[in-house]
Structure 1
Amino acid sequence: MGAAHSASEEVRELEGKTGFSSDQIEQLHRRFKQLSGDQPTIRKENFNNVPDLELNPIRSKIIRAFFDNRNLRKGPSGLADEIDFEDFLTIMSYFRPIDTTLDEEQVELSRKEKLRFLFHMYDSDSDGRITLEEYRNVVEELLSGNPHIEKESARSIADGAMMEAASMCVGQMEPDQVYEGITFDDFLKIWQGIDIETKMHVRFLNMETIALCH
């Protein structure tokens, strides 16, 4: 009885921390156990056999994001060697659909958290900035996974995205001014008006309500 009570207390605590329902936590726990091989933690190599990730053009970035201390809320830089179930839920909470019953301020905060996760995927050296070239490369990588877009077209779209980002973030620069890269505030400007819900999903979880950078 004590053990069951303790388990339910733990689930309630996780519900409060992550916003997932008890049913979602149970489903995610089953998926966690599959990924970890029934071990208490997941390591990077556990993602090697996930079919939906295998063909994703930014597979390495997605896997890295799961171990990024910034996303785990454990520090400003560095990567964890392994993650436990609570860490897993923390990462998955970024992909939870935005609750439309929240007030405007809370919706904006939720959207900002999702965008911060994406920003960290682009900002691989954790310096708080993304160079325009890095931004262009990631856009091209994302497009390369679309069978309907030819390589040259993907490159042209990526070039256009980089130029658009430059015009939004850099504006009118002085001749001797050097642009050091896209900050998170710049990133928010770039994504303003874009439906973030359609850009982030995690199919390999087999959960229709959660979806990963596609």
Structure 2
Amino acid sequence: MGTSQSGPVHRFQDLAHKTGFSIEEIKTLNTRFLYLTQDEDTLRREHLANVSDLALNPIRRQIIEAFFDKRNMGEKERGCLQEIGFEEFVTVLSFFRPPKPHTADEEMKNIKKEKLRFLFNMHDTDNDGIITLDEYRCVVEELLSSYEIIGAETAKAITDAAMLEVANVTVGS
């Protein structure tokens, strides 16, 4: 019996070390993973599509796709997976975890860099290593149009104005 228990415990310890989550948090995430997958070993997009907390999120699609983007798994290759296991699930969730208090400056710098890369990957929807004007416009319009008082045309105008500002600052540098 002790042997069967050491497998998951060791696996959870490895995940805790890799992701910064505590072992208790890993156990809770495992329970949530099994709930989402209905006790299957892998998670698919449709499992995440059923998460009620994501239903009203304006960038819901990007969040869901982030779980299946190979770049977010620490792999150098590009592309998307059709399903992921528990380790990949926890790896992606770790990007949403705040840094621990009293994190050393160098480690904080690395954490910020990883989180920025994750956010970049989330919005580089065609996996080409560039966030195009269309990709940027899509994200900003989705975020702004989620507010009922801002219509689609106003969101587009705000997006275009922001892009002009970025272009002016970049060209002016």
TM-score (norm 2): 0.89
1:160 equivalent in structure 2? 161
Residue identity in the other structure for 1:25: I
- Aligned pairs, how many? 172
Q: Distance in 2 between matches of 1:124 and 1:143?
A: 19
How big is the shift at 1:161? 2.2
CA deviations over 1:140-171 (Å, ceiling 9, x no partner): 11111223434444233222322232234x41
Contact 1:67/1:81 (8 A) holds in 2: yes
Between the aligned partners of 1:167 and 1:28, the Cα distance in structure 2 is 45
Distance 1:153 1:99 in 2: 39
- Cα separation, 2, equivalents of 1:171 and 1:132: 16
Structure having greater relative contact order (Cα 8 Å, sep ≥ 6)? 1
Query: Distance between the aligned counterparts of 2:138 and 2:168, measured in 1?
Result: 17
Distance 1:32 1:165 in 2: 40
2:101 pairs with 1:100:
yes
- Deviations for 1:171-202, whole angstroms, at most 9, x for unmatched residues? 149xxxxxxxxxxxxxxxxxxxxxxxxxxxxx
Identity of aligned residues (%): 46
CA distance in 1: counterparts of 2:63 and 2:109, whole angstroms: 24
Q: Quote the residue 1:60 is aligned against.
A: 61
- Give the AA of the match of 1:57: P
Assess, with a 3 A threshold, how the Cα gap between structure 1 residues 67 and 86 changes in structure 2: closer, same or farther: same
SS in structure 2 at match of 1:171: helix
The unaligned stretches of length 5 or more in structure 1 are 174-214
Tell me if the contact between 2:19 and 2:90 (Cα under 8 Å) persists in the aligned partners. yes
SS at match of 2:73: coil
RMSD of Structure 2 on Structure 1 (CA): 1.9
Q: How does 1:21-36 map to 2 (within 5 A)?
A: 21-36=22-37
- Residue correspondence of structure 1 range 1-214 to structure 2 within 5 A: 1-168=2-169, 170-172=170-172
* Further displaced range: 145-154 or 90-99: 145-154
CA distance in structure 1 between the aligned counterparts of 2:108 and 2:162, rounded to whole angstroms: 26
Contact 1:19-1:93 within 8 A present in 2 as well: yes
Judge which range, 130-139 or 12-21, deviates more. 130-139
Q: Note the C-alpha offset of 1:30.
A: 1.1
Structure 1-normalised TM-score?
A: 0.73
Please identify, of 144-153 and 102-111, the stretch whose mean Cα deviation from structure 2 is larger: 144-153
Shift of 1:83: 0.4
Moved more, 7-16 or 61-70: 7-16
Q: Please identify, of 91-100 and 159-168, the stretch whose mean Cα deviation from structure 2 is larger.
A: 159-168
Higher share in helix = 2
Q: How far 1:48 moved relative to its partner?
A: 2.5
How many Å apart are 1:100 and its aligned residue?
3.1
CA contact (8 A) 2:125 2:135 kept: no
